[in-house]
């Protein structure tokens, strides 16, 4: 054996109790490893992760959850860095769950958010966790909500969730935070072009960022234009009227007004009961979202489906089958277990037979 090559030590295998106690005591190393278990696709890791989450659940829910979205380059990470330092000086503990877009080509992510949050990354009362989107809708990793539970159990009282901001549906991040902030820029052509109606209806507050130097006047004009547009929208169920502020994340200008706006929203919604109702609706949303994710995993791991999909794919590519008929055939391993006279099975049987497709139990792989 080469004397210069030292054996790589095995990573300690922590027990469920080790993870739970470590997270409860604020151990960042064990918290990071627990989040890694959540993100893992290995069945054994996922099982352990779920057990950790169940133990931590009674100790969660005491934080303020804030979502940040906006077009790339709007200054989301800089704003988080500055606002986070502002809160650290006030005695808060901050967890940042920053989402990096996964490449459609390589499936990889840069995960470089810590480099854009230089001040926060040096603080001991801060936990920054960049995660890949892995193709999930809305630019939010599927496991982010579970990571929030662990961070809250570890004693972090303020949770920041940063979305990719690439124009995808923002419903996912809105369904896991208490306050949803949209960050916009001025002087980029049409100031309202980057804000779609759906996102405007979801946002609880807006900031026109980089409002400094020569851009200050443009930012104020953009903020005034946005306020006039917001008046056209119906009242929010929260009873809150979204505000528009100007801000400079780089120079820490307007940060105190930003935190005051968030605090005013939290106070109002807690007083009128909307805060609790929203969190209850979010829990229900994620239950059904988890069902869909689980069904997705079960479908693509099914051995018969795995064997059938390449055949159906070739038939679609050669125009022998339409994508819709092929999709129905791919689902037949699940339909076959339905009662013979169930409406769904009868409907699908009719659909397949009317297109000269072999019915249940008679399908063959050519």
Judged by average pLDDT, the poorest of 54-68, 114-128, 267-281, 313-327 is: 114-128
Domains and CATH numbers, the chain: 13-58 (1.20.5.170), 60-272 (3.40.50.300)
The Cα–Cα gap between 261 and 67 comes to 14
The Cα–Cα gap between 254 and 251 comes to 9
Backbone φ and ψ for 277, nearest 5 degrees, come out as -60, -40
Residue burial 16-28, b: 16+ Cβ < 10 Å; e: rest? eeebbebbeebbe
Instruction: Indicate if the pLDDT at residue 132 is higher than 90.
Output: no
Q: Quick one: pLDDT band at residue 112, thresholds 50, 70, 90?
A: very low
pLDDT tens-digit profile of 299-331? 888 888 899 999 999 999 999 989 988 888 888
The reported pLDDT for the residue numbered 339 is 67
Across the chain, what does the average pLDDT equal? 82
Q: Length of the chain in residues, anyone?
A: 366
Full-model pTM: 0.82
């Amino acid at each position: 054996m080469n004397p210069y090559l030292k054996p790589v030590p095995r990573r300690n295998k922590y027990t469920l109790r080790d993870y739970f106690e470590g997270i409860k005591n604020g151990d960042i190393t064990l918290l990071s490893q627990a989040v890694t278990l959540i993100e893992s696709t290995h069945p054994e890791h996922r099982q352990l992760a779920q057990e950790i989450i169940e133990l931590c659940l009674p100790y969660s829910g005491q934080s303020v959850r804030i979502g940040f979205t906006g077009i790339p380059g709007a200054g989301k990470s800089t704003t988080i860095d500055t606002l986070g330092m502002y809160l650290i000086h006030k005695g808060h503990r901050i967890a940042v769950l920053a989402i990096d877009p996964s490449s459609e080509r390589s499936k990889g992510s840069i995960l470089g958010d810590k480099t854009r949050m230089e001040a926060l990354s040096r603080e001991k009362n801060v936990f920054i966790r960049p995660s890949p989107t892995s193709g999930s809708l809305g630019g939010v990793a599927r496991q982010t909500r579970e990571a929030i539970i662990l961070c809250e159990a570890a004693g972090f009282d303020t949770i920041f969730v940063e979305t990719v901001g690439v124009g995808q549906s923002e419903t996912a991040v809105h369904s896991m935070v208490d306050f949803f902030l949209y960050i916009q820029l001025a002087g980029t052509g049409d100031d309202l072009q980057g804000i779609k109606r759906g996102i405007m209806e979801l946002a609880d507050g807006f900031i026109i960022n980089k409002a400094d130097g020569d851009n200050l006047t443009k930012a104020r004009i953009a903020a005034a234009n946005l306020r006039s547009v917001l008046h056209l929208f119906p009242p929010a169920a929260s009873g809150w009227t979204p505000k528009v502020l100007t801000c400079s994340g780089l120079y820490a200008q307007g940060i105190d007004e930003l935190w005051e706006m968030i605090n005013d929203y939290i106070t109002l919604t807690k007083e009128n009961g909307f805060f609790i109702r929203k969190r209850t609706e979010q829990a229900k949303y994620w239950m059904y979202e988890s069902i869909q994710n689980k069904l997705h995993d079960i479908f693509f791991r099914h051995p018969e489906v795995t064997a059938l999909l390449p055949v159906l794919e070739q038939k679609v590519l050669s125009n022998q089958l339409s994508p819709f008929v092929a999709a129905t055939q791919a689902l037949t391993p699940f339909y076959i277990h339905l009662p013979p006279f169930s409406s769904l099975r009868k409907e699908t049987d009719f659909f397949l037979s009317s297109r000269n497709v072999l019915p249940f139990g008679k399908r063959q792989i050519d």
